[in-house]
Amino acid sequence: MASFRDLLDAARSRTASALPSEAAELLRRPGAVALDVREADEYEQGALKDAVHIPRGYLEMQVGAKIPDRSTPIVVYCAGGVRSAFAAVTLAQLGYTDVTNMEAGSTGGRTRACPGRRLPCSAPTSATVTTGTCCCRRSTWPAR
Distance (Å, whole) CA 109 – CA 2:
26
pLDDT tens digits for range 108-141: 433 445 544 455 554 433 333 333 445 444 444 3
Q: How many CA atoms lie within 13 A of 18 on its CB side?
A: 22
CATH homologous superfamily of 4-131: Rhodanese-like domain (3.40.250.10)
Which residue, 65, 63, 69, 71, is CA-closest to 90? 63
Residue spans of the domains in the chain: they are 4-131
pTM: 0.76
pLDDT surpasses 70 at 56: yes
Share above pLDDT 70 across residues of the chain, in percent, rounded to a whole number: 72
Beta strands in the chain (DSSP E): 16-18, 33-36, 52-53, 74-77, 99-102
Helix (H) or strand (E) segment spanning residue 99: strand 99-102
Can you tell me whether residue 113 is helix, strand or coil?
A: strand
111-to-54, 94, 139 alpha-carbon distances in Å: 21, 29, 14
Phi, psi (deg, nearest 5) at residue 33: -125, 130
